[in-house]
Structure 1
Amino acid sequence: MRLTCLLVCVVLLSACRMKDPAEGVLRLTVEFPSYRPQCLRVEVGDGSSQVGTDLPSSQFKDPDAKKVQVAMVRKLAWGDQLNVKVTSFAAVSGNQCSGSVVETHEDRALDAPSGKSIDWTVTLQAVFRDDDGDGFVASGPGVELPDCDDSRADVYPGAPEKCDTAVDFDCDGKKACADSDCADKTCTDASDLCTVGKKCVGIGDAAQCGGGEPKCTQPTGQCQATVTCEASTGQCVEGAVAVGASCDPGNPCMTNGRCTADKQCVGDVKTCSLPSNPQCQETTGSCNPANGNCEYAPKPVTTSCEDGNVCHDPGFCDGNGTCIGKDTPCPPRECNSVAGCTRNSSCMYAPDPTRLNLPCSDDASGSPRVCRADGQCVAFPYTPANFNPNSIPGGEIGELRTTGAVVFDTDARTWTPDSAGPETSAFAIKTVSQTGGAPDILLIPVRTLALGGELRIVGSRPLILAVYGDATLSHDILASGRIVNGAPVPGTGGNQGCAASQGRAGTYSGGQGGGGGGAGGTTPGGNGGRGYNTTATRGDAGLQQASALTPLIGGCPGGNGGGTGNAAGGLGGAGGGALQISVARTLTLGKGLSVSGGGGLGGKANPSGPAAAGGGGGGSGGRVVLEAFQVTLTSAARITANGGGGGQGGGAGNGTANNGADGSSGSEFSGGGASGGAGSSVVGGDGGAGGASSSPYAGNFGATLLGASGGGGGGGGASGSIYLRSVQSCSLSTTAVISPPPTGGCTAL
């Protein structure tokens, strides 16, 4: 507009109350009673020329006055009648009006004599409702700050934000905590009228109205009505008093506390008429207000009474309210403690756990005994395997002492050398029969077992050493199968009652023999190898033995290798022995105890023929039974029932002959498997390794080389069985050797 600067200057002049110029001043008041325009354009002229200006609402001196004044100096060229035009726009662009026209008001031919100052008023006519009377109207053309809720006088643009989640008080489009004006302020949550004291937490749109505490609090007191909050209104509602509800009157001498309608807790006075001992206490007592206990005065000490103990006679009160009866004593009983009586002079006893396994009186025969868990005084605190300890008179229980290394023969019942053996008159040797074709057992019952050197046991009968007390074994006890002077020798009780567990013999054909099968034990034995000639068949392995404590039997022999008259087959290895040590109290083993099987012999060879025999199968390990109230194995303990290795097959041909090597006997002191015979015959099949913690191996087939051929190797013998039985938990050193692993429930501590 051409006269913008002029008009602005005049407006400033008017604002400063300067004296009107001689040409006269035209003052125009624009009123807008119903809304605030975004921008006004004012134009004045005489029809031939005119001037105008744009006035944004930001330049209104007092917007709340609902009017604005514009003044100008009258142009000399204008006539005495002027036109005035006021236009309201909906927007502003910079300092210029823009957007749509809200309304236009124009007055023509207004009198304006030259040289005079004239005042005119123009009223904008656009009408908007202001129902709540807060001075702000609802949205519409030309409304700069529309009222976002014309039904509430406290809601309008720029109003103080009250931080209510349901109301945008300042009409900025953000409610409560989303409005930066509410940061860290207390807020109200329209969806939760039952919580007060909430605060805005967070920033921007992610802010929430949280925290706070319940609006309705529960009054203190046992008999107060429950107060609840009505979710839809936030009103606190008091419920009905639970009349008759249980409560605590606060006085321990009041009983039956209950609530009344006036919210009080009342009760009944406690009566004291039931003394705990009416024989020695007065019938009526008083209540102690400190603890609510009834207290009764004692009756005199001369008052007779019965204390209720059936083991007592009547007595007298002690003056403190207690009846003291007269004891009827019960005599002591070993292995037991007094547990009461059913009537006077009739006592009851219970087992005394502190006496378990301690010595008690000998029986009439003089047999030593110990206390059992059930309170009985018996020879053994448990039931041992394969014999009855109570059937042996005390006179037959002696001492077994040796002074050096000694061999005991269960068939001849002799000790070699006699000088190192025990005094045989000091104990008895008993015979215990077994069923199912198993051999009789020799039983030696002793009070003391004291070895002065290694004890080796041979013969055809199993052996039980029954110790009526403690036993500490600090020397080796060996009942293993062995090769002695080129012949298999079983341990005591070995090679007996084997049936199908014995290894089968190999056959001889075409100049070679098959290897004998290994004996069975805790597993089947190893099969023998066939000779180089396929018709020289192997001996099959012995079957697995039944695993049981009874009968007490040893290991089995391996099968013989196939052979002929001028080339004998290797003999099968001998079975390990059967040995049981039963101790009434504590058994401590700190040395070796072995019933391992013997190795099979190598097959013989003869250049005449030529003839090459098969190797013998290994013998199986025997059976060990160790049982005691407490079994303890030290780090030096070695218990073995390993199988023996099979013998190597012989080799012959082209004018030469080589006998096969014997298999190794099962180790008496380690857990390693015995090696099969090898190395003596180039073409003879090697013997199979014996079983230990693993199964035994089969013998190898015979081979041929440069016109010579060999017999098959014997199969390895299986390991035997080891039983460890203990009333209390075993104490087994982790470095003790037990091969194969034991059964019976003992575990290392």
Structure 2
Amino acid sequence: MFVRRLGISPALAGVALVAGLTAGCKFNENGIGGDDGTPDASPSAIDAAPGPDADPNRPDAMVTTFDASPPDAAPPDAVPAPPFPYAPSNFDPDTLAPLTAVTLDCNARFDSTDLSFGEWCGQPEPIPVQRDGLVILPVLDFEITNNGSLILRGNRPVILAVFGTATIDGDIDAGARRDQAGPGGSLEASCGTPGNGGTGALGTLTDNSGGGGGGGGFGSDGADGRDSADGGNLGSKGSTNGEETLVPLRGGCAGGRGGPSDVQGGAAGGAGGGAVQLSAAQTLTVNAVISAPGGGGSGASERDGGGGGGSGGAVLLEADSISLGSNAAITANGGGGGEGGSGTGPGQEDNGRNGETDSATPAAGGAGGTSTGGNGGDGGAGDIDATVGTAGNSDGGGGGGGGGRGRIRLNALTSCTVTGTPVRSPSASTNSGAGDCAN
């Protein structure tokens, strides 16, 4: 504006400015000095303060002052998270603030009870958000390499909220182990009390021996336990419960405890599988195992009943587009029931197996430890229902019933593609966008 008022073209003004700078400062081998060539008093200072030239009769032609302290650095603007192109289940992405991308290349762990990261492969830890009985881990992009895995434990379901892409080449485990529930499994608020809702009923004692506990139910019924040789009543099965959409997100239900004998307290039922949700704003690619199996019922001791198997839990996957590779296995199988106690003496009998993580094979009930205790029933898997235990004989305890199947849900906005024959056990329910991934 000033040069235009003077009638000077911008080009001429630039030439004049360069000439003025050249006249006022010059570089010499001794350092940076004034126009008389004399170096500053401090070689490290650059005109630290204005002062007269060597000729006191004329003012400085040009003096430039640099503050000794650096200018205040304004913090960089936070990079806003990209929006989800769909409304994810069970959380509002607009209320979350993901800070970083995460790549797991080790055996990582997270506990939803105390919000602790047992191991996180040297990656920045997301800030857990507790909401509506869930724990949400917001991240930008998320990857588990084929050298990594993620084990989830605790008393609340876990949601991985991924605001970019997710690539799962290493396993995610949200399952129960015997009577230790997966994250958010075996909760009374979801499953009810033993014999009511999804939790298997306890066996009872008659004379000297106990009946087997009932298997837990969730996506399908559990199975009944079986009576003892002396008439100890079986524990009844847990029933189908919950929503196929997995809204709200919750885990599976426990099997019932075996009935006591005159000398033992009854074997523990298997716990319910946990609940894990992975929601990606963009693409979700799965080439590994994501599982939430139920726990196997414990084998009984002398004359008491075997524990019922726990039901499978919940796996919910959603994204703009989902790709399931040939090595993918998405499972929530039930646990097997425990074997009844021997009628002829003490000794721990065979436990039911935890639900299978990478196949649609039913988990076997406990069997073979004694000829007098009843065998445990198999857990539910694929499209196969849980099976009942067998009765004890010669004072033996009854076998526990198998745990029912859990639930799998796939939601896609634009597409869901399958390569090869990935495992989905039990069969997955889907929205319309993920219909091509139904089995």
TM-score category (smaller protein): 0.7 to 0.9
TM-score when scaled to structure 1? 0.45
Alpha-carbon distance between aligned partners in 2 of 1:620 and 1:430, rounded to the nearest angstrom: 27
CA displacement at 1:643 relative to structure 2: 0.2
2:127 is aligned with 1:428: yes
2:110 is aligned with 1:415: no
SS, match of residue 586 in structure 1: strand
Which residue, 385, 400, 404 being the options, matches 2:106? 404
TM-score when scaled to structure 2? 0.77
Alpha-carbon distance between aligned partners in 2 of 1:365 and 1:444, rounded to the nearest angstrom: 19
2:218 is aligned with 1:532: no
Residues 711-746 of structure 1 deviation map (CA, whole Å, 9 limit, x = unaligned): 110000001000001011210224100000000143
Partner residue in 2 for 1:714: 400
> Is this contact kept in 2: 1:732–1:747, CA < 8 A?
no
Which residue, 383, 386, 390 being the options, matches 2:90? 386
CA displacement at 1:703 relative to structure 2: 1.4
SS, match of residue 141 in structure 2: strand
Q: Which amino acid in 2 is paired with 1:697? A: T
> Is this contact kept in 1: 2:209–2:262, CA < 8 A?
no
2:134 is aligned with 1:441: yes
CA displacement at 1:397 relative to structure 2: 3.2
SS, match of residue 710 in structure 1: coil
Structure with the higher fraction of residues in strand conformation: 1
Which residue, 184, 190, 206 being the options, matches 1:509? 206
Higher relative contact order (CA 8 A, sep 6+): 2
Alpha-carbon distance between aligned partners in 2 of 1:565 and 1:532, rounded to the nearest angstrom: 13
Alpha-carbon distance between aligned partners in 2 of 1:421 and 1:743, rounded to the nearest angstrom: 36
Q: Which amino acid in 2 is paired with 1:579? A: V
Partner residue in 1 for 2:55: none
> Is this contact kept in 1: 2:207–2:262, CA < 8 A?
no
Alpha-carbon distance between aligned partners in 2 of 1:672 and 1:544, rounded to the nearest angstrom: 20
Alpha-carbon distance between aligned partners in 1 of 2:230 and 2:413, rounded to the nearest angstrom: 57
Q: Which amino acid in 2 is paired with 1:474? A: D
Which residue, 167, 176, 181 being the options, matches 1:472? 167
Alpha-carbon distance between aligned partners in 1 of 2:435 and 2:409, rounded to the nearest angstrom: 12
SS, match of residue 443 in structure 1: strand
Q: What does 1:80-479 align with in structure 2 at a 5 Å threshold?
A: 366-369=79-82, 379-393=83-97, 396-417=98-119, 420=121, 422-424=123-125, 427-433=126-132, 440-452=133-145, 453-479=148-174
> Is this contact kept in 2: 1:602–1:677, CA < 8 A?
yes
Alpha-carbon distance between aligned partners in 1 of 2:105 and 2:416, rounded to the nearest angstrom: 30
Partner residue in 2 for 1:640: 331
Alpha-carbon distance between aligned partners in 1 of 2:219 and 2:141, rounded to the nearest angstrom: 33
Query: Gaps (5+ residues) in structure 1?
Result: 1-363, 370-378, 434-439, 606-611
CA displacement at 1:401 relative to structure 2: 3.3
2:419 is aligned with 1:733: yes
2:378 is aligned with 1:695: no
> Is this contact kept in 2: 1:603–1:613, CA < 8 A?
yes
Q: Which amino acid in 1 is paired with 2:161? A: A
Q: Which amino acid in 2 is paired with 1:493? A: G
Partner residue in 2 for 1:662: 351
SS, match of residue 94 in structure 2: helix
Residues 388-417 of structure 1 deviation map (CA, whole Å, 9 limit, x = unaligned): 111224xx4323333411221111222224
Alpha-carbon distance between aligned partners in 2 of 1:421 and 1:643, rounded to the nearest angstrom: 34
Alpha-carbon distance between aligned partners in 2 of 1:661 and 1:475, rounded to the nearest angstrom: 31
CA displacement at 1:542 relative to structure 2: 0.7
Q: Which amino acid in 1 is paired with 2:286? A: L
2:242 is aligned with 1:546: yes
> Is this contact kept in 1: 2:282–2:321, CA < 8 A?
yes
CA displacement at 1:421 relative to structure 2: 5.5
Alpha-carbon distance between aligned partners in 1 of 2:130 and 2:262, rounded to the nearest angstrom: 42
> Is this contact kept in 1: 2:308–2:338, CA < 8 A?
yes
CA displacement at 1:508 relative to structure 2: 1.3
Partner residue in 1 for 2:263: 566
Which residue, 368, 371, 377 being the options, matches 1:682? 371
Residues 233-265 of structure 1 deviation map (CA, whole Å, 9 limit, x = unaligned): xxxxxxxxxxxxxxxxxxxxxxxxxxxxxxxxx
CA displacement at 1:367 relative to structure 2: 2.7
Partner residue in 2 for 1:92: none
Residues 9-52 of structure 1 deviation map (CA, whole Å, 9 limit, x = unaligned): xxxxxxxxxxxxxxxxxxxxxxxxxxxxxxxxxxxxxxxxxxxx
Q: Which amino acid in 2 is paired with 1:603? A: A
SS, match of residue 502 in structure 1: coil
> Is this contact kept in 1: 2:221–2:405, CA < 8 A?
no
> Is this contact kept in 2: 1:648–1:687, CA < 8 A?
yes
Q: Which amino acid in 1 is paired with 2:230? A: N
Partner residue in 2 for 1:723: 409
Partner residue in 2 for 1:629: 320
Alpha-carbon distance between aligned partners in 2 of 1:598 and 1:682, rounded to the nearest angstrom: 24
Q: Which amino acid in 1 is paired with 2:141? A: T
Query: Gaps (5+ residues) in structure 2?
Result: 1-76
Alpha-carbon distance between aligned partners in 1 of 2:163 and 2:169, rounded to the nearest angstrom: 18
Alpha-carbon distance between aligned partners in 1 of 2:119 and 2:263, rounded to the nearest angstrom: 39
> Is this contact kept in 2: 1:401–1:423, CA < 8 A?
no
CA displacement at 1:710 relative to structure 2: 0.7
Alpha-carbon distance between aligned partners in 2 of 1:702 and 1:407, rounded to the nearest angstrom: 41
CA displacement at 1:423 relative to structure 2: 2.6
Alpha-carbon distance between aligned partners in 2 of 1:634 and 1:718, rounded to the nearest angstrom: 27
SS, match of residue 200 in structure 2: coil
Alpha-carbon distance between aligned partners in 2 of 1:570 and 1:490, rounded to the nearest angstrom: 16
Alpha-carbon distance between aligned partners in 2 of 1:727 and 1:673, rounded to the nearest angstrom: 32
**How many aligned residue pairs are there?**
349
Residues 547-584 of structure 1 deviation map (CA, whole Å, 9 limit, x = unaligned): 24211100111000011473231100011111000000
Q: Flag the structure with larger Rg.
A: 1
Alpha-carbon distance between aligned partners in 1 of 2:104 and 2:282, rounded to the nearest angstrom: 21
Change (3 A) 1:665 1:423: same
Q: Which amino acid in 1 is paired with 2:402? A: G
Structure 1 runs (4+) greater than 6 angstroms displaced: none
> Is this contact kept in 2: 1:518–1:558, CA < 8 A?
yes
Change (3 A) 1:429 1:565: farther
Alpha-carbon distance between aligned partners in 2 of 1:565 and 1:447, rounded to the nearest angstrom: 58
Alpha-carbon distance between aligned partners in 2 of 1:429 and 1:658, rounded to the nearest angstrom: 45
